[in-house]
């Protein structure tokens, strides 16, 4: 798992969590840990190869109130961009 932060000149700040190769429930567990390290309104980009992540992130977003602002898949890598509430 790799966690990197970029410092763009505009807000919100984007942090990337590389959860590729982790199986359920670890992408959600790592996301829950990582989102606590960013400020309210900032973005967390999560990359994962777990196909169950689509349903997992939808449910996690509903229960936590953190919004999925973008979701895509490219070559078996699922990408979620979440905004911290």
- Catalytic residue numbers read 24
Say how far apart CA 58 and CA 54 lie, in whole Å. 6
Dihedral sign (CA 53, 23, 79, 43): positive
Cβ count near 31 (within 10 Å): 25
């Amino acid at each position: 798992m790799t966690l990197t932060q970029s410092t763009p000149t505009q807000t919100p700040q984007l942090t990337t969590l590389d959860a590729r190769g982790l199986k359920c429930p670890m992408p959600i567990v790592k996301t829950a840990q990582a989102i606590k390290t960013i400020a309210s309104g900032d973005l967390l980009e999560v990359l994962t190869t777990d196909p169950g992540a689509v349903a997992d992130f939808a449910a996690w977003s509903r229960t936590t109130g953190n919004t999925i602002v973008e979701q895509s898949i490219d070559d078996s890598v699922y990408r979620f961009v979440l905004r911290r509430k």
